[in-house]
Structure formats: C-alpha cells, structure tokens
Amino acid sequence: MIRTDKRLRLCTALLICNLIFIWGNSLLPGEVSGAFSDWVKSILALLFDSDPNGPSGGGLLRKIAHFTEFSALGALLCWRFGMLGKGKFPAFACGAAAACMDETIQIFVPERGPGILDVLLDCSGVLTGMLLMHLGHTYCKKKSLNHYSEE
C-alpha cells in the first residue's frame, strides 16, 4: 500500500475514532445500550416496513453492530499496518487486543458483562475487515496495472 504522511494521518485518525466509538458504546450501562438498540431496531423497522416487535431481537442487532464495527477496525488496521510495511498478524493481534479490551471495559459497567463469545465474534469481524481490505487493495492494484498495460 502506498504510504504518504497524509494517508497515514487519515488512517490513524479514523482508527482512533473507531476505537472511541467501540469503547464509548461499551461504557454505556446496559439499560442505555438496550434502549439505543431498541431505538435503532424501530428505525430499521420503519425503513424496511417490518414489525418492530418481530422475532429479530435487540441482541441480534447488537451482535451485528459489534461485527460491523470490528470489521471496520480490521480494515483500518490492515490499511495502517500495510502502509507501515508490517505483516497481517500484528494488525490482527491489535484487533484482538481491542476486542479483549472492549470486553474488559464491560466488567466495570452496570448491567454489562464480558463474554468470550463476544471476543470471538469481534475477532471474526476484524478478520473479515482485513480480508475485505486485502481483496479491495488487490483488485485496485490489478485494475491499475491492467490500465497501464493497455496504454
């Protein structure tokens, strides 16, 4: 990945924002987190014209949200470590550490608690984000090479 100071600063800023978002949500008490999940669920029900009290619970929505935010983290870590010329394993290790920290934070928050399955879900999100970033970078690189070879 091409490294420039501007790209490195942008990636670092996005990483910090992503971690603030992840850990900020973990600091919310269970009641507040549940109310927010219910609010998002009702918005989605309006958008997709479905029953907000249907079978899909707020727990599933929270799991999808965790997976998504950790996928974004994985993509950002892959981008940053790629620009620094580091391997994929250190990027994944940082993502796994962030997932462990996320669950550790929840030990100290009322009505929240840690879960090993949540760490595994978060780590699978990190891997997915890294894979998507790698595939996207490979595709763009091939497309760019094909473009230059046609000229």
pLDDT digits (tens, 9 = 90+) for 53-110: 655 556 788 889 899 999 999 999 999 999 888 989 999 999 999 999 999 999 999 8
| pLDDT for position 151 | 56
User: What is the arithmetic mean of pLDDT over 123-137?
Assistant: 96
The pLDDT tens digits for 1-50 are 567 889 999 999 999 999 999 999 899 888 888 787 778 888 877 777 76
Q: What is the 3-state secondary structure (H, E, C) of 54-100?
A: CCCCHHHHHHHHHHHHHHHHHHHHHHHHHHCCCCHHHHHHHHHHHHH
| pLDDT for position 68 | 96
What is the dihedral sign for C-alpha 32, 35, 39, 44?
positive
Closest CA relative to residue 75, chosen from 128, 12, 4, 142 = 128
| pLDDT for position 92 | 97
Q: What is the 3-state secondary structure (H, E, C) of 17-64?
A: HHHHHHHHHHCCCHHHHHHHHHHHHHHHHHHCCCCCCCCCCHHHHHHH
**Separation CA 120–CA 124 (nearest Å):** 6
**Quick count: other Cβ atoms within 10 Å of Cβ 138?**
10
Q: Contact, 98 vs 123, CB < 8 A? A: no
